[in-house]
Structure 1
């Protein structure tokens, strides 16, 4: 007989012998008493089952159709046998059977204790009670039923067996196993953080091998391209090689439709390459449904050109016999400016993220906006990323990212508070393997025991943008917005390069083109010159009986400025002068007691002009005159104590 399973609830003296049907039936009656579910139909079904299979484990050897044919009265007895460890069915049965009444049968059993321990562990990494219970019933209980192990004894192999049975069910019946597969991955993650499994599970969605990615390319071109991609994997990131696979697969498929047994050495410029270049402009983008963008066309041409160059340098016998692609084959690329968010949109999005119920993802996006990070750099941040330097404030250590460079970004107290809040809302657990190095790392953004994904961040950004009444926004626009704010604040090109992690000035100069101060100065100069040619100043629009009133410059409907040696009049269409009273406000301006009468007269004129501006509703002009009056009072006070230079 099989050894008693670890989850058995039978007395210790019965572990070394098979239970009699009477003993099993008595235990079932006791179980019915605890759950309050007993009736004559259930008892009759149990007796009939025990007459046919006195040793209950023999039932597990029956064909699946026999096992699934159990009546509604027999299934409660089968569930009793499972939760008490008396029966260990096949994986095949478990993935076909539903356990709707499981929670009424688990209390008081060893398996029930293990299931509750699992739920507690799932809650500790951030799952809700409902989701944790679903994981326990859909996956964890099935693993315990099939293996007879205690919770701390299960292994990755047990879950692999469950997945294989689920996949077999999907192929046999067409009923998808996708939901259970994702649930099993989450269950493994919980057990990893609970200390049961030695490593977290691999993502259930894996990249296809190159041989499958290029399955539409016939031999011998297929083997040549696969060998090339394997070689590039030595020196390039996997994401880079994956993109190469997509672009080379299209090229290989196209040229081999022209001639099936082609190799690179047999390619001809006129016969093969030029038709492919033309076809690129008509190729569909499988994601958007439109045509390939011009930048993507250029990337595909570059990928093929590099393929030819590399295999030629490596002396591959299949290398082309002559140059096939030229610089003139590359389409002219558009030069778009960085897509930053205007201030109003930036504020609306920030508020929507601040009000978000999805705190971890929303705070991650707020941190990206506050530090100008790429999304890959954001999700790779670790708990110890903040470094305090005495006398130099706090800095954020940005990990290796797109360009394989680390950098330090200065952060303010508000951003530091944001990082502290993230540290309290992330899910705790054991360190996770770093995707780049494999070393254990405490990542800053963890949810439900695994790293926060880029797709979840994009989904939250879409939700917040919709709540703010904005259109589609990409995470990289937050980086553009951060850089634009630095440019507007006058940051130097060198500092911008360091903060953004750019390795060339050309990358940062894209932002400098947004708001060029020289262009602005030239615009202001030209606009002032144009406004000076608007025509004669307006005349008063009302008559007066006061003598010389028509010649009083202070009553004209113009923008007026009192000067120490005269006055300035500007048409309202010209706007205020940017240089009005510049000298009086300059720190280098000096005066003496002899000039007090002139300054006093200028102050009186300014007071009259302030009242005139108030009457006309020109609030900004009123403020300007009042600031001048305050400045003149200061000059008069200082002049009264300063003697004329000898």
Structure 2
């Protein structure tokens, strides 16, 4: 009787795969079994998976997707991120059946944060992709392993060449990092960015003297303006400088600029499409870019910078006219429906958020920035302390009794039975992510553009920037003075700060 031929490691994996499929009551017909054996023999003949060329790996996986997916989710095979992206393997669906303990662990971590079901599926799929790239089990991923997998997978998606390629996967990995951080597996809630910011590298194509003047100007105004306003100014000046360097090489300083340059830039700006949306820029965006550009020209002339513009270049007529639709408000019926829906919601955090927003009038950003000790008792009343924010002051707001009750219940419930807002480490900015319960309440209440009777429209107070950038001062303009930008308040966004 001839001796039995020892079974190779790859053939042993085939038997394990077929056994796992039978346990899940999945079909293992002749074609599925033959494809798995062919995959195993092909790897054995090559001397290992890594010895196959990238084209051969793609062909092998394409002919045995089920077996290859099982190897990847169980950590018995690793794959290059670009190959996994091209083949488009659905590893999350496969891992639900073959890795039930790991999936239950991840569901428990997501449940503590009250993540939406669709977001849980996206994060779970991304986690299994990271496992396939690194070969490390999901519950053993370290910060280094996670960062390596994230960079390789996002880069692979970005190579598709579309305007939004890689952005969605990058956002999913950002949320997945927060989930693993709050579960205690990762030590950092944000990834470390090693490359220099665009505010430093984005001036390379602009004329050198123009870039020096613009950076000097930005360094001055950021002492008095908000970070978001500075971001808009920096973006507008970098964009104009890059356009000058690419289309008008004869311009070296602001003194070389003429009205024809501004007119050509306006035409280019109006025809430009958004980087991510692929649609033409909105009129508000164009107006803000031109206003920021005018402020730069005007101020460097007043401040005595070298080589300022020789004449006014921008006027009121250059600014697009902005539509002013009625703001969105809830009418009485919609407000009552929102209160009923929130009180019936099983999530105490969602009820508390609706009560705070409805009773206190605070902004969403101020709500997300609240500290855990924001509720204080002064005398016999409870007050909500709003930290320093957009209004540049902190203040106390009386807390309504229903909100007090929800806050007490939320504070005494165990973490596993309530929705939790991920805590922000010291020194970090809060994550502006809307809780999932609010999405349910928003979908249940229709929005209206009509103003309610009990909230009449009031004229804006002097200096209220309702349709201008945050650093712009609105004021009535006399028709006789609109031709000179030095007397044009619509083009002088610095007036509000200068008069304070």
Aligned residue pairs total 429
1:154 aligned residue (126, 132, 141):
141
Kept in 2: contact 1:379–1:454 (CA 8 A): no
Using the alignment, how far apart are the partners of 2:134 and 2:233 within structure 1? 44
Counterpart in 1 of 2:470? none
Counterpart in 1 of 2:81? 91
Counterpart in 2 of 1:53? 43
Using a 3 Å threshold, how does the CA distance of structure 1 residues 454 and 35 change in structure 2: closer, same or farther? closer
Using a 3 Å threshold, how does the CA distance of structure 1 residues 87 and 241 change in structure 2: closer, same or farther? same
Residue 194 of structure 1 and its aligned partner are, at CA, apart by 0.5
SS in 2 for 1:400: coil
Q: Superposition RMSD on alpha carbons, in Å?
A: 5.3
The reply on whether 1:144 has 2:163 as its aligned counterpart is no
Using the alignment, how far apart are the partners of 1:71 and 1:238 within structure 2? 49
Residue 394 of structure 1 and its aligned partner are, at CA, apart by 1.4
Q: Deviations over 1:39-92 (max 9, x none)?
A: 333333333333332389812342222122137663333233334433223333
Residue 241 of structure 1 and its aligned partner are, at CA, apart by 1.3
Counterpart in 1 of 2:365? 376
TM-score, length of structure 1 as denominator length: 0.52
Aligned 1:201-216 pairs, distance under 5 A: 201=190, 209-210=198-199
Using a 3 Å threshold, how does the CA distance of structure 1 residues 232 and 75 change in structure 2: closer, same or farther? same
Kept in 1: contact 2:71–2:77 (CA 8 A): yes
SS in 2 for 1:158: helix
Counterpart in 1 of 2:449? 471
The reply on whether 1:117 has 2:111 as its aligned counterpart is no
Kept in 2: contact 1:124–1:428 (CA 8 A): yes
Aligned 1:395-410 pairs, distance under 5 A: 395-410=383-398
Kept in 1: contact 2:113–2:419 (CA 8 A): yes
Kept in 2: contact 1:217–1:249 (CA 8 A): yes
Residue 20 of structure 1 and its aligned partner are, at CA, apart by 3.6
2:423 aligned residue (431, 441, 446):
431
Q: Deviations over 1:452-494 (max 9, x none)?
A: 359998x9998688x25x2178xxx9xx96997xxxxxxxx9x
SS in 1 for 2:384: strand
Aligned 1:214-253 pairs, distance under 5 A: 217-229=206-218, 237-249=226-238
Using a 3 Å threshold, how does the CA distance of structure 1 residues 94 and 56 change in structure 2: closer, same or farther? farther
Counterpart in 2 of 1:135? 123
Residue 192 of structure 1 and its aligned partner are, at CA, apart by 0.7
Using a 3 Å threshold, how does the CA distance of structure 1 residues 50 and 415 change in structure 2: closer, same or farther? closer
Using a 3 Å threshold, how does the CA distance of structure 1 residues 433 and 129 change in structure 2: closer, same or farther? same
Structure 2 regions of 5+ residues with no counterpart? 1-6, 272-279, 319-325, 462-472, 475-500
Greater Cα radius of gyration, structure 1 or 2:
1
Using a 3 Å threshold, how does the CA distance of structure 1 residues 464 and 403 change in structure 2: closer, same or farther? same
> Greater RCO between the two (CA within 8 Å, min separation 6)?
2
Using the alignment, how far apart are the partners of 1:464 and 1:287 within structure 2? 32
Residue 398 of structure 1 and its aligned partner are, at CA, apart by 0.7
Using a 3 Å threshold, how does the CA distance of structure 1 residues 232 and 481 change in structure 2: closer, same or farther? same
Using the alignment, how far apart are the partners of 1:278 and 1:97 within structure 2? 45
Using the alignment, how far apart are the partners of 1:85 and 1:158 within structure 2? 14
SS in 1 for 2:44: coil
Counterpart in 1 of 2:433? 452
Kept in 2: contact 1:395–1:408 (CA 8 A): yes
Residue 287 of structure 1 and its aligned partner are, at CA, apart by 4.8
SS in 1 for 2:251: coil
Using the alignment, how far apart are the partners of 1:124 and 1:72 within structure 2? 38
Q: Deviations over 1:146-196 (max 9, x none)?
A: 323233431344344334433444455447444333322222111011001
Aligned 1:298-337 pairs, distance under 5 A: 301-309=294-302, 312=304, 318=306, 320=308
Using a 3 Å threshold, how does the CA distance of structure 1 residues 279 and 58 change in structure 2: closer, same or farther? closer
Using the alignment, how far apart are the partners of 2:442 and 2:96 within structure 1? 42
Using a 3 Å threshold, how does the CA distance of structure 1 residues 290 and 122 change in structure 2: closer, same or farther? closer
Using the alignment, how far apart are the partners of 1:307 and 1:177 within structure 2? 40
Counterpart in 1 of 2:467? none
Using a 3 Å threshold, how does the CA distance of structure 1 residues 348 and 363 change in structure 2: closer, same or farther? farther
Using the alignment, how far apart are the partners of 1:121 and 1:49 within structure 2? 36
